[in-house]
Amino acid sequence: MSHSNNFQLSCGHSRRYDSCFIFAVLAREKLWCLVMTSEMKQIATKCAAVVLCVGMALRTTGAEFFATPQGTAQGNGSHLLPWDIVTALADNTKTQSVNNVVKPGDTVWLRGGTYGTGSNWLVTSKLIGTSNQPIILRQYSGERAVVDGGISAQGAWTTFWGFEIMNSSTNRSVTTDYRPPGINLLGLGHKCINLIIHDVGHPGIGAWENVGDGGEIYGCILWGNGIYSADPGWNGAPRGSAIYAQNANGSRYISDVISFKNFTAGMKAYTEQSHAEGFNIIGNVSFENCSGGYEINAIHHSITNAVLVNNIGYNNGQCWFGWADQTNHTHLLLANNTFVNEIIGGTYWYPFMLANWVNLTMTNNVFVLTTTSSAKDTALFWRLYQGTGTYIFDHNTYHGNGWAGGFDGWNINNSRKTFAQIQAIGWETNGTYHVNLPTGNVAVLRANKYERGRAHLVVLNWLTNISTSVDISSVGLQSGERYEVRDVQDYLATPALSATYDATHPVISVRLNLTNCSQFIGDQHHYRRDPNLHTDPVFNAFVVLPVTRQKIPNLGSPIDLHFVPSQ
């Protein structure tokens, strides 16, 4: 079974949304299979036209400037006289700044090479664009630009696109100052597009309240991020979310991200004193993160308008949506997601904690528990602390692992329930519980909305085949164009497949019995599974990339550039 989810997702400029917006998201994400009342459909149809008008791809039509690892503050930002990265990212609005020639709508290209020295190396970006003409900091096509350290993104309206951020230090038992986050978004309107972030501190990407309405993290790949914190009060505990976000107003978007094997969460909107408003988590993949794949939580402020649609999670442990002591969260939509979990060593894990929402809709999701029968007594599909309001649970599919129909895998207000008891409440009228694991494979392909020819591919290989066939005609490759398929767990190494695209034969074969895996930099001792080992053949995630044929300035004739983490 193959699904091609080639969607244009909203970049977000609506100031606030409610149930109308939620159904508009459903329309945009092609989820009209959901059961809605006629009134719901009318609302969605009216709102969809508004929502679909946003989300246009970024354009690089302004002036172009260049930075290299060997550049200097005495350069002028040209090919021949490039800047160093510190100069390139200085405040471009100050007349005394060398880079004040950079204007809104311009692009600063990072040429190939390594910027920084790891450990506590940190560069500050103070670039300032505008809402309709952001400044773009982007890896030069066909080259590999690596920031060895971290970026503090101040300024405003800057898009960070396509380069790699990592930390070469092997010391993980440090404070956050000595292994900084990959990139901290601290300014209004910032976006992260198709970045590769690994082995940095906590978090991989921090997207904080100042980013504001419409902030976006899209297409990024994050793994192995985190520290054993030496900060006061942490006593060496692991800290390391791939994405850590907060928001007070409007909408935020985390879309088409692949996050795996991070020290704690795969991606979370979490706060104790701030807000976690308006998060749209759409089309992401999160697997084997240590303490949960997805989370939206706020301790002291209620949450409004949370959307989780078309995501995949695999062996992440628990996902949290709301705290049990908070009673006024409103509008949570969980639709068309797939979550696979395993109970290990008797640990009490379950895919979802849902606490005290008003207007909660969970529909068209697939939940799979692969736990063996000896551990099923500690297994749950979801746990609900029910508040007041409207709750819709329907059209969801649940799979056990050889467990009889009397399995009590649902928990409501601390009382375990069987599926029959759930249906007796009036929920899951059209839902199904299967005693056994799925018997058919699923492939999900999502084309990248910013880069033609790029896509994410996920395969749930329940039949444990050694390969699968996938139609990649929706990706945007052109006949005769070279492309690669990279295993995200070995992303920086040799591609799993390298070929020439033929539009008359768009179905390709991808191996699923892969074993090579990127090795972590530094210590990692708290993982339930060895993160340096590949997942089993049941789960695989890939990136499809065009091979850039680029004439590099001053290097003569065009050449094929086969190592292209992002073009």
pLDDT digits over 425-482, tens only? 999 999 999 999 999 999 999 999 999 999 999 999 999 999 999 999 999 999 999 9
Backbone angles phi, psi at 26, to 5 degrees: -60, -45
CA distances from 16 to 251, 316, 389, 473 (A): 7, 31, 21, 36
Do 459 and 537 fall into the same domain? yes
Residue 9 has a pLDDT of: 30
The SS3 call for residue 299 is coil
- Of 158, 189, 214, the position where a domain reaches its end is 158
Lowest mean pLDDT among 15-29, 121-135, 444-458, 523-537: 15-29
Backbone angles phi, psi at 488, to 5 degrees: -60, -25
What mean pLDDT is reported for the chain? 86
Q: In the predicted model, what is the mean pLDDT of residues 104-116?
A: 98
Domain count for the chain: 3
Do 47 and 73 fall into the same domain? no
Do 104 and 19 fall into the same domain? no
Do 458 and 533 fall into the same domain? yes
Bigger pLDDT: 558 vs 357: 357
Residue 54 — pLDDT band, cuts 50, 70, 90? very low
Residue 376 has a pLDDT of: 62
- Kindly tell me the burial class for residue 241, based on how many C-beta atoms sit within 10 Å of its own C-beta (0-12, 13-18, 19 or more): buried
Do 518 and 447 fall into the same domain? yes
Sequence-separated (6 or more) residues with CB below 8 Å from residue 255: 9, 216, 217, 218, 219, 280, 281, 282, 283, 284
Domain around 83 = 64-158
Q: Is residue 366 part of a domain?
A: no
pLDDT digits over 142-174, tens only? 999 999 999 999 999 999 999 999 999 999 999
pLDDT at 105 over 90: yes
pLDDT at 303 over 70: yes
Residue 325 has a pLDDT of: 61
- Of 131, 158, 185, the position where a domain reaches its end is 158
Do 478 and 509 fall into the same domain? yes
Residue 21 has a pLDDT of: 44
Residue 372 — pLDDT band, cuts 50, 70, 90? low
Residue 236 has a pLDDT of: 94
pLDDT over 90, % of the chain: 70
pLDDT at 345 over 90: no
Q: In the predicted model, what is the mean pLDDT of residues 116-122?
A: 98
Do 133 and 37 fall into the same domain? no
Residue 75 has a pLDDT of: 96
Residue 353 has a pLDDT of: 87
Looking at this protein, which amino acid is placed at residue 503?
A: A
Residue 8 has a pLDDT of: 31
What CA–CA distance (Å, rounded) separates 383 from 411? 5
Give the tokens for residue 492. 């920086």
Q: Is residue 520 part of a domain?
A: yes
Length of the chain: 567
Looking at this protein, which amino acid is placed at residue 497?
A: L
What CA–CA distance (Å, rounded) separates 58 from 180? 28
Residue 242 — pLDDT band, cuts 50, 70, 90? very high
Query: Tell me, what CATH number does 450's domain have?
Result: 2.60.40
What CA–CA distance (Å, rounded) separates 369 from 371? 6
- Of 102, 127, 158, the position where a domain reaches its end is 158
Do 80 and 20 fall into the same domain? no
Residue 245 has a pLDDT of: 97
pLDDT at 48 over 80: no
Residue 322 — pLDDT band, cuts 50, 70, 90? confident
Sequence-separated (6 or more) residues with CB below 8 Å from residue 165: 146, 147, 149, 150, 151, 182, 183, 195, 196, 197, 198, 200
Pick from 273, 208, 301: which is nearest to 246 by CA? Answer: 208
Residue 128 — pLDDT band, cuts 50, 70, 90? very high
Residue 39 has a pLDDT of: 37
Q: Is residue 239 part of a domain?
A: no
Residue 418 — pLDDT band, cuts 50, 70, 90? very high
Residue 379 has a pLDDT of: 78
Do 78 and 129 fall into the same domain? yes
Residue 548 has a pLDDT of: 76
Do 31 and 129 fall into the same domain? no
pLDDT digits over 543-557, tens only? 999 997 543 343 333
